[in-house]
Structure 1
């Protein structure tokens, strides 16, 4: 399916990956339906999409409210006649020791990141199945295969998203509905405002853990799934290496990830007051694609990349050694 004239619904379209995806589709001449809590931010994105050559409808919605998401699908189909792709990209994050974070924040992260995707999938699938074609995209994270300390709720939610996609794919296969595709995107660390917007109870400022990739790279991957859908795609070389480690030596991965998060995801210099971020209430600004994490820190990014490569190599070597020993 070509992106030109395609109808694409995107949740979380006011900032970050969702916003980058909307702009990327607009560049291809698609019609985009933009959903998020901030109506004024969506209007700004819609203007930019139209300027780039696409059609755009700003449709504020709260993904935790299934009626709101169902209305989003109706508005999309009512305006453009169909839905070709639905992208679940809305997400919030929470950092803090597992036993210390407020339960209401923990529950809200799961509500947005898991039930929000459930609501999106249930709203989209009737339109895709009726047309007997189309793509549902769920944006997960490499955290789904490489859990991290101090972000239990977020990690849990992304693992659940990957499982959601797999389960729906299997149901569609059993029904013989092979032209309705379900894809999962697992980005590595992406330069978005997610980290500034996160709830934080660590006492330390949250920073993007290097290496950091551009949100446009995720957007390109999502656009590509419309023409060539695959079950799962990892964005970012470091993410692919982490997934390899998860398959070959999970114990080593967990030890390495604990160190990486403590040293490079939480600042050792800057303290931060406790905050619920945008978990419950959106910001008042108009949003942005980037979070400003791509500037500076080149040595740190290189060090993190080398660490990931080295750890993966050690894991592979260990696995090969075990296999050789088993054949003797």
Structure 2
């Protein structure tokens, strides 16, 4: 499915991965409905879409509020047209040990980062199911399979999204629905999250290396929107390795992350102060864009994304390599 001239909704469109996604949608000539709280970030995102050749319309809404999301969907249908694709990206987080996160902060993180996906999915299904067509894409994380320290609320939300999405997918299949839902598991990304997320760490938070640019994630998310028959996509070699290692040796990963996970999420420098998007948007007056503070250390591409997009070629190559290796072994035995 080409996204040109399609109506695509993106939550969390003002910054980070959401911002990178809407830029690429603009390049494809899509009609993009931008949902977020930060007005400066939304305005910048709308400009990006227009520069790329697409059309954009802004909808200020807090995804934690079901009614705000539902009303935004209704307005999009009335003002822009029938929604073809809905992409859930919006989230927030707290960098801190679990017992240093207040109940109110944990609840708010869950409302945005988990229920925001639930309400977005519900709003999309309300308009897509009567037409029996449409695509929903959930931007996930390797942390949906393997949790790490200092991000209990975020990890819990990502695990919950995966379970929720699997349940909804089976319901759609049971009903013979033409609506598709898929999930993209992302690696560590260079987004403003690490500068505007609430933190109680002694040093500046960082993504667990290796770090990828948000455009890598955006490319994969849009590929998933165009190929929704697949239930899940993995982005980045580290995501694939993490998920596979969790299947094989979860206890070993527990001990490894217990030794290394805290240090790996911090870099030298004082933590951000006075900026947090937990309760209020951090980009209401200043547009932070898609990238965070780690451009010099971030990879602009991922071989694993290409392999995920070309599974047939990758499988054939692997089979060919295995066959060649077997032939070499046979020759050596002679």
Q: Is the 8 A contact 1:10 1:88 kept in 2?
A: yes
Deviation at 1:272, TM superposition (A): 3.4
Q: Is the 8 A contact 1:8 1:31 kept in 2?
A: yes
Structure 2 equivalent of residue 225 of structure 1: 224
**Structure 2 gap ranges (5+):** 300-334
Q: Is the 8 A contact 1:183 1:231 kept in 2?
A: yes
Q: Distance in 1 between matches of 2:152 and 2:235?
A: 22
Which aligned pairs between 1:1-328 and structure 2 lie closer than 5 A? 1-177=1-177, 179-229=178-228, 230-267=230-267, 269-272=268-271, 277-283=276-282, 284-296=285-297
Aligned pair count?
Answer: 296
* TM-score normalised by structure 1 residue count: 0.86
String of CA shifts for 1:100-133, please: whole Å, max 9, x gaps: 2222111110010111111111111022212211
Q: Distance in 1 between matches of 2:158 and 2:275?
A: 19
Structure 1 residues 83-92 or 288-297, which shifts more? 288-297
Structure 1 residues 143-152 or 39-48, which shifts more? 39-48
SS in 1 for 2:71: helix
Deviation at 1:190, TM superposition (A): 0.7
Structure 1 residues 227-236 or 23-32, which shifts more? 227-236
Mark the CA change 1:274 to 1:100 in structure 2 (over 3 Å): closer, same or farther.
farther
Deviation at 1:204, TM superposition (A): 2.6
SS in 1 for 2:295: coil
String of CA shifts for 1:145-169, please: whole Å, max 9, x gaps: 1101111001101101111110100
SS in 2 for 1:295: helix
Q: Distance in 1 between matches of 2:290 and 2:275?
A: 21
Q: Distance in 1 between matches of 2:192 and 2:119?
A: 24
SS in 2 for 1:99: helix
SS in 1 for 2:211: coil
Q: Which runs of 4+ in 1 moved over 6 A?
A: 273-276
Deviation at 1:98, TM superposition (A): 1.2
Mark the CA change 1:239 to 1:260 in structure 2 (over 3 Å): closer, same or farther.
farther
String of CA shifts for 1:182-230, please: whole Å, max 9, x gaps: 1111101011111111111232321122100111111111111222112
Q: Is the 8 A contact 2:195 2:293 kept in 1?
A: no
Deviation at 1:92, TM superposition (A): 0.6
How large is the Cα RMSD of the aligned pairs? 1.7
Deviation at 1:49, TM superposition (A): 0.6
String of CA shifts for 1:46-68, please: whole Å, max 9, x gaps: 12211111011011111111111
Deviation at 1:8, TM superposition (A): 0.4
Q: Distance in 1 between matches of 2:23 and 2:298?
A: 28
Q: Is the 8 A contact 1:113 1:158 kept in 2?
A: yes
Mark the CA change 1:274 to 1:227 in structure 2 (over 3 Å): closer, same or farther.
closer
Q: Distance in 1 between matches of 2:112 and 2:298?
A: 32
Q: Distance in 2 between matches of 1:174 and 1:265?
A: 42
Mark the CA change 1:130 to 1:199 in structure 2 (over 3 Å): closer, same or farther.
same
* TM-score normalised by structure 2 residue count: 0.85
Q: Distance in 2 between matches of 1:257 and 1:276?
A: 28
Structure 2 equivalent of residue 307 of structure 1: none
Mark the CA change 1:286 to 1:274 in structure 2 (over 3 Å): closer, same or farther.
closer
Q: Is the 8 A contact 1:93 1:195 kept in 2?
A: no
